[in-house]
Amino acid sequence: MANKMQVVMKEEPKSGAVLGTKDIPKPKADEILVKVMATSICGTDLHIYNWDEWSQSRIKPPYVMGHEFSGEVVEIGEDVTLVKKGDMVSAETHIVCNECELCRTGQAHLCEETKILGVDIDGTYAEYVAIPAENAWVNPKGIDPAYLSVQEPLGNAVQTVLAGDIVGKSIAVVGCGPIGIFAVAVAKASGASKVIALEVNEYRMELAEKLGADIVINPLNEDPVNKVLDATDGKGVDVIAEMSGNPTAIKQSLKYVKLGGRVSLLGIPNGEVPLDIANDVVFKGITIQGIAGRKMYETWFQVKGLLESGSLNIEPVITHRLPMKDFKKGFELMQSGDCGKVVLYPHEK
């Protein structure tokens, strides 16, 4: 193995990224070294690439971007027993302390000391990455590495949709970026009675329909409140899966959620969102949940079960595959919205 590897770096505190080289990391005693076979672009990566307000307050260049991936274990630290060389792994990207109250009471996904792969530490837009062995999720062999690389964002969709009752319930998925499209598929696979997708990009509207949305609404062309109420006999939907973070979309969703319904929020607004708490929350008796990633590791087992059941088809979500050196094209696709998941291959030239 050569000592150097190719990486995509956030080199300076400004928009963009560069292709560079770094030393291949040496795993610590409790870590594994993984040869990255596939790594996908996330909406968080796009925020960092664009260097928005959130990125400026959180990211400390220079560092290696990326966090969604799959790969082969090529080296293990001396204390590692859970993983072996040759295993195909993905990763839970939240690295937690395992000592605080939250970690010790089954809520490690909310650990205040969390460090995120590809956000707080060097990530997966690289030929090799070192991760804690306890964060490795060992996959069956023989599965397309691209499918394995998207289990982490798929887990976000699973956690959002399954954060309450869904069987026999109607659901509106608001914002059909890649995680929203996953949410459409998860809702259908989990027994939702009616899935309504709301999205402004025509490419992603078609993807949502392909993944099983019963009704697709473009809020730019029609009133989403009236359309959802019309589709639900005036009662509204049982569940909102809010993936967009768009302030207008969030406020509208509270107008068409059913009395006593559930609103699960995964999308992150850029600023404060003023709400009519009295009329849209208190008097409607609704439940509003914040969804922080995935439960460790309950959601991973749910993802595994859904995929093994054969009822969840994620193949249409992966729309573009590129060698990592063409990462700028991948970010352009994400910027346009004319894509589902974009997967990069670090070892393809």
Q: Which burial class, exposed, middle or buried, applies to 144 when counting CB atoms under 10 A from its CB (0-12, 13-18, 19+)?
A: middle
Q: Which of 39, 47, 109, 160 is catalytic?
A: 47
* Secondary element (H or E) of residue 330: helix 327-336
Counted residue by residue, the chain has a size of 349
Catalytic, out of 44, 114, 124, 160: 44
232 is catalytic: no
- Asked whether the beta carbons of 263 and 228 are under 8 A apart, the reply is no
Rounded alpha-carbon distances, angstroms, from residue 297 to 132, 136, 248, 322, 347: 15, 11, 33, 30, 29
Contact yes or no for 48/55 (Cβ under 8 A): yes
Closest CA to 159 of 243, 246, 56, 253: 243
Catalytic: 105? no
SS (H, E, C) 20-59: EEEECCCCCCCEEEEEEEEEECCHHHHHHHHCCHHHHHHC
By annotation, the residues acting in catalysis are 44, 47
